[in-house]
Amino acid sequence: MEKNKQPSFVAIVAQMVLFVVLGTPMVAYLWEIVNKMLSFSATPTQMLLGLPVLIVFIAFVTILTSRIRKWIA
C-alpha cells in the first residue's frame, strides 16, 4: 500500500474486527487481575502472568493508535 493512499473501508473494518477479537481476552484477563488485586485475593503467580499480558496490551493499543492516526490523516 502506498503511503498517501487511504485504506479501503473493508480493510479498516477487517483490522478493527481483528483488534477487537484479539484485544477482548486481554482486557478481560487484566480486568480480572485488577479486581483480584483490589480484593487482596490475587496470587503472585497471577500477577506475574498479568505483567506480560499488560505489556502486550500496551503494545497492541500503541499499534492501534498509530493505525487510527494514519486512517484519519
Check residue 4 and give its pLDDT.
61
- pLDDT tens for the chain, 73 residues: list them: 455 677 788 888 888 899 999 999 999 999 999 999 999 999 999 999 999 999 999 999 999 899 888 888 7
pLDDT of residue 1: 47
71 neighbors 6 (Cβ within 8 angstroms):
yes
Show me where the domains of the chain are located.
Answer: 9-72
Q: What is the DSSP letter of 41?
A: -
Give the global pTM.
0.76
Q: Which residues of 36-69 are buried (b: 16+ CB within 10 A; e: fewer)?
A: eeeeeebeeeeeeebeeeeeebeeeeeebeeeee
pLDDT at 2: 52
